[in-house]
């Protein structure tokens, strides 16, 4: 275990080396090399990594180091078979690490939990379906079932899933996006009338300035580094706002450029770097607008303008209220909350003003705070003032996480379905779906915890590890009469079973999916609203695995009946049938089957980009939100006593993980090797607490309830991070986040602002005493 500052650029030979190591680790080398070459190609599969889009140019490989890890992890030849479950009890498995659980390999056959023996035991598929049907049909209210989705599910699987749940009678669709970009969907739909980004990949080639807020593309969207470095090379300004110094936001060696690789050269990915306090982006942007407003007023005095007055008057509403609020916001608040100097904010405003086409991107550093919706609306305001929506080379770009999280939403995974969707379902399927709002993740977990929701079905994902307050979530699962997990790999959620529990092994994106009519394709949608086809390339490792669609139609047939409301089997036999139903039900999918044949797929369109504002007023809304009272998710100061070291903690991903999937214990770009129980701190804070690098600390979170939330023995790592802020990895730090600490309007866990105290590890002190 070691800590060594990383001096290289992102990408380059380090990435190639890591890719090769992961190839060997999967024990499927030859197959996986050919696999990687098919990633994101027209006749291949969509990368199960992130949702970044692709420009379709032939003859280039289209995977990155972390995409390669995702592919290798899924395409392993290791299998979890009945002997494994016979050997280990579930209680024993629950004591193992997340890495251990997933590393065992692909789930190979359906198993059912036996509480008497505490083992999972084999079960026939039909018996598994009957058990689910029995439990679902025994509920006194369909809203006692929760249908969770993780964003890898294809459009076809997700559409079948929502149809099954809606026919059953509920809108309980907790979704991974409730912990992810929910604030984005909420903020955007209430301002520009659509909850998606307005840019396409081509816009990045025309932008003069790209502002990146709260994201770490070097690890989480590595293919974006190429886009950023090429923008930089042609002279665009690329401006990062990040709470940490992230290597991928500094320099990148592109493995696609042989000369750069051979000369160990690299291209910067950003031209300017600002490090706001956690949650300080809203104040920073408010400061930029305040400067630009003053300049605009000055220009107006001389008959000019800086804002796009024509755009504002034709397309927006709410300008006056917002500008008065900007004027009324004191600089002291802006500087205090942003943690930036007035000079820095002025520099950011200068760059913004002197560009003509600006793109603003953001990810979890913006969406996982209490005031995330307001922060995103501040970004929207800035862009609207300058007419940056619906213009080539400009726009709003939330960078999505899971490879099909956006598509799942598009095809109906929505706990608050719009009336138009319900009407279409009624028209196409001849039943009236429930219009009452269902549960998001937070509400589902609360209902399970109270014993009100009794059946949990998970289409992928790992909710126990992904959600906050881990012991509470585990307890919520344990309360359920039945938990059902449709999954590729064993994880924490599976080893926290309900009173009855099933693990149903499914195909992943890389597997060949053969059904009655032959090999099937599925479709996915990227961050740029491009829909394209994906076909698996390798023979599944076990004949017992089934496709997600086959599993869902199996559940539907057993629960609802063969033909209710569709002939389920024909959907499983031929996925084009599902695409025909999507075409009839979801706008934008006209001639779906034909259009996915095009290279790179097709563009779903975006109403805001077309300057068509789907808001009640028919205009884009400029929202006047006050800055938050405090950057803590509650009045934390009131909960601390004198002498306690109060910090705001963010929880983020290492370079060797995919959400709760831990591929390894290194975080190369941050200089961490062989460990994950670390906490990144500013050197001055380390010194002020009398700590040294490598010391162990205990971290306790503050929340006005009686629950103790604490992690112990985390190693102190010095890092470029503002004083008062610290960072640790998720899922290890999830126990610190109270379920009740959630975003206003989004219910997203405040994973990037947790009020905590840090103390020297008691364990360490007691050891010292012994010495």
Residues in contact with ligand MGD by CB under 6 A are 49-50, 66, 102, 150, 152, 176, 179-180, 213-216, 219-221, 241-244, 246, 276, 278-279, 281, 363-365, 368, 401-402, 459-463, 466, 486-489, 491, 506, 508-509, 548, 650-653, 657-661, 730, 734, 737, 751-752
Shortest reach from residue 363's CB to Mo ion, in Å: 8
Sign, CA torsion 296/297/298/304 = positive
Residue nearer to ligand MGD on the CB measure, 490 or 620: 490
Confirm if 730 and 751 have CB atoms less than 8 A apart: yes
Cα(392)–Cα(206) distance, integer angstroms: 7
How many residues sit in the footprint of Mo ion (CB under 5 A)?
2
β 530-534/522-525 pair status: antiparallel
Q: Which does 428 bind (CB under 5 to 8 A by kind): ligand MGD, Mo ion, none?
A: none
Q: By Cβ distance, which residue is nearest to Mo ion?
A: 401
Shortest reach from residue 753's CB to ligand MGD, in Å: 7
Tokens representing 488 are 């590729």
Residue nearer to ligand MGD on the CB measure, 208 or 548: 548
Shortest reach from residue 491's CB to Mo ion, in Å: 16
Q: Residue 10: beta bridge partners?
A: 252
Residue nearer to ligand MGD on the CB measure, 307 or 663: 663
Rounded to the nearest 5°, which phi and psi values hold at 693?
-55, 135
Q: Which does 64 bind (CB under 5 to 8 A by kind): ligand MGD, Mo ion, none?
A: none
- Does residue number 401 form part of the binding site for Mo ion (CB under 5 A)? yes
Shortest reach from residue 695's CB to ligand MGD, in Å: 22
Tokens representing 29 are 């080398």
Largest CA distance in the chain: 83
Residue nearer to ligand MGD on the CB measure, 101 or 389: 101
Q: Which does 506 bind (CB under 5 to 8 A by kind): ligand MGD, Mo ion, none?
A: ligand MGD
- Give exposure, 637-649, as e/b (b: 16+ Cβ within 10 Å): eeeeeeeebebbb
Shortest reach from residue 300's CB to ligand MGD, in Å: 32
Confirm if 650 and 719 have CB atoms less than 8 A apart: no
Rounded to the nearest 5°, which phi and psi values hold at 614?
-85, 55
Residue nearer to Mo ion on the CB measure, 227 or 748: 748
β 500-505/482-487 pair status: parallel
Shortest reach from residue 659's CB to Mo ion, in Å: 7
Residue nearer to Mo ion on the CB measure, 442 or 537: 442
Residue nearer to ligand MGD on the CB measure, 316 or 751: 751
Q: Which does 549 bind (CB under 5 to 8 A by kind): Mo ion, ligand MGD, none?
A: none
Q: Which does 363 bind (CB under 5 to 8 A by kind): ligand MGD, Mo ion, none?
A: ligand MGD
Cα(145)–Cα(164) distance, integer angstroms: 12
Residue nearer to Mo ion on the CB measure, 492 or 619: 492
Tokens representing 547 are 């496709």
Confirm if 699 and 679 have CB atoms less than 8 A apart: yes
Shortest reach from residue 372's CB to Mo ion, in Å: 13
Mark 150-189 with x for binding to Mo ion (rule: CB under 5 A) and - for no binding: ------------------------------x---------
> Comparing C-alpha atoms, which of 492, 398, 482, 472 is closest to residue 703?
472
Residue nearer to ligand MGD on the CB measure, 215 or 388: 215
Cα(504)–Cα(488) distance, integer angstroms: 8
Q: Where are the beta strands (DSSP E) in 625-702?
A: 646-652, 657-658, 661-662, 672-673, 678-681, 696-701
Shortest reach from residue 78's CB to ligand MGD, in Å: 14
Cα(703)–Cα(737) distance, integer angstroms: 9
Q: Which does 216 bind (CB under 5 to 8 A by kind): Mo ion, ligand MGD, none?
A: ligand MGD
Measured CA angle at 586 (ends 56, 145), to 5 deg: 110
Residue nearer to Mo ion on the CB measure, 466 or 755: 466
Cα(689)–Cα(15) distance, integer angstroms: 36
Following CA atoms 415, 418, 422, 423 in sequence, which dihedral angle do they give, to the nearest 10 degrees?
A: 180
Q: Which does 411 bind (CB under 5 to 8 A by kind): Mo ion, ligand MGD, none?
A: none
Residues that bind Mo ion (CB under 5 A): 180, 401
């Amino acid at each position: 275990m070691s800590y060594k500052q990383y001096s290289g650029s992102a990408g380059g030979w380090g990435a190639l080396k890591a890719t090769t190591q992961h190839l060997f680790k999967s024990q499927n080398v030859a197959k996986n090399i050919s696999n990687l070459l098919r990633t994101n190609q027209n006749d291949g599969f969509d990368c199960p990594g992130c949702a970044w889009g692709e420009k379709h140019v032939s003859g280039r490989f289209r995977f990155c180091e972390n995409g390669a890890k995702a592919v290798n992890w899924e395409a392993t030849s290791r299998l979890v078979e009945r002997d494994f479950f016979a050997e280990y009890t579930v209680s024993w498995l629950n004591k193992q690490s997340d890495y251990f659980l997933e590393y065992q390999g692909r789930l190979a056959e359906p198993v059912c939990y036996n509480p008497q023996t505490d083992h999972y035991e084999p079960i026939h598929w039909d018996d598994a379906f009957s058990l689910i049907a029995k439990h679902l049909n025994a509920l006194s209210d369909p809203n006692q079932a929760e249908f969770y989705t993780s964003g890898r599910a294809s459009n076809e699987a997700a559409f079948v899933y929502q149809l099954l749940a809606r026919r059953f009678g509920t809108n309980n669709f907790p979704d991974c996006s409730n912990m992810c970009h929910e604030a984005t969907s909420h903020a955007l739909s209430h301002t520009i009338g659509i909850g998606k980004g307005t840019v396409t990949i081509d816009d990045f080639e025309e932008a003069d300035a790209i502002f990146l807020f709260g994201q770490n593309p070097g690890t989480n969207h590595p293919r974006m580094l190429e886009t950023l470095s090429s923008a930089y090379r042609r002279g665009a300004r690329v401006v990062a706002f990040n709470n940490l110094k992230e290597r991928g936001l500094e320099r990148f060696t592109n493995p696609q450029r042989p000369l750069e690789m051979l000369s160990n050269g690299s291209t910067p990915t950003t031209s300017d770097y600002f490090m706001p306090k956690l949650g300080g982006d809203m104040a920073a942007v408010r400061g930029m607008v305040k400067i630009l407003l003053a300049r605009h007023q000055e220009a107006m005095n001389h008959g000019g303008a800086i804002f796009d007055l024509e755009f504002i008057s034709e397309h927006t509403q709410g300008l006056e209220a917002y500008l008065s609020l900007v004027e009324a916001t004191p600089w002291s608040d802006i500087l205090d909350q942003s943690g930036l100097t007035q000079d820095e904010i002025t520099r950011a405003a200068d760059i913004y003003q002197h560009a003509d086409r600006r793109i603003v991107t953001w990810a979890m550093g913006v969406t996982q705070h209490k005031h995330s919706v307001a922060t995103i609306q501040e970004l929207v305001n800035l862009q609207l003032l300058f007419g940056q929506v619906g213009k080539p080379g400009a726009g709003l770009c939330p960078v999505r996480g899971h490879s099909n999280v956006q598509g799942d939403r598009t095809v109906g995974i929505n706990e608050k379905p719009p009336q138009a969707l319900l009407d279409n379902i009624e028209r196409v399927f001849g039943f009236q779906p429930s219009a009452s709002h269902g549960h998001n993740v937070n509400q589902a977990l609360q209902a399970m915890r109270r014993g009100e929701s009794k059946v949990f079905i998970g289409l992928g994902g790992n909710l126990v590890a992904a959600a906050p307050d881990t012991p509470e979530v585990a307890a919520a699962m344990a309360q359920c009469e039945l938990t059902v997990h449709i999954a590729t790999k064993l994880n924490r959620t599976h080893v926290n079973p309900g009173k009855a529990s099933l693990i149903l092994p499914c195909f992943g994106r890389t597997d060949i999916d053969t059904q009655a009519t032959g090999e099937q394709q599925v479709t996915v949608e990227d961050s740029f609203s491009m829909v394209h086809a994906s076909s698996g390339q390798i023979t599944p490792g076990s004949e017992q695995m089934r496709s997600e669609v086959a599993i869902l139609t199996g559940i539907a047939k057993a629960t609802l009946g063969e033909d209710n409301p569709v002939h389920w089997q024909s959907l499983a036999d031929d996925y084009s049938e599902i695409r025909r139903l999507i075409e009839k039900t979801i706008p934008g999918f006209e001639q779906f089957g034909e259009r996915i044949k095009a290279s790179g797929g097709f563009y779903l369109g975006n109403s805001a980009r077309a300057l068509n504002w789907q808001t009640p007023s028919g205009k884009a809304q400029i929202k006047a939100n006050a800055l938050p009272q405090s950057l803590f998710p509650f009045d934390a100061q009131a909960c601390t006593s004198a002498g306690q070291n109060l910090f705001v903690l963010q929880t983020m991903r290492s370079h060797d993980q995919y959400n709760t999937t831990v591929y390894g214990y290194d975080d190369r770009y941050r200089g961490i090797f062989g460990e994950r129980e670390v906490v990144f701190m500013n050197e001055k804070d380390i010194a002020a607490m009398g700590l040294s690098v490598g010391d162990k600390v205990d971290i306790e979170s503050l929340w006005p309830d009686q629950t103790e939330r604490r992690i112990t023995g985390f190693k102190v790592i010095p890092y470029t991070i503002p004083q008062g802020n610290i960072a640790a990895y998720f899922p290890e730090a999830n126990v610190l986040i109270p379920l009740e600490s959630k975003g206003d309007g989004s219910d997203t866990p405040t994973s990037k602002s947790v009020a905590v105290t840090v103390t020297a590890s008691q364990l360490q002190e007691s050891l010292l005493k012994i010495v």
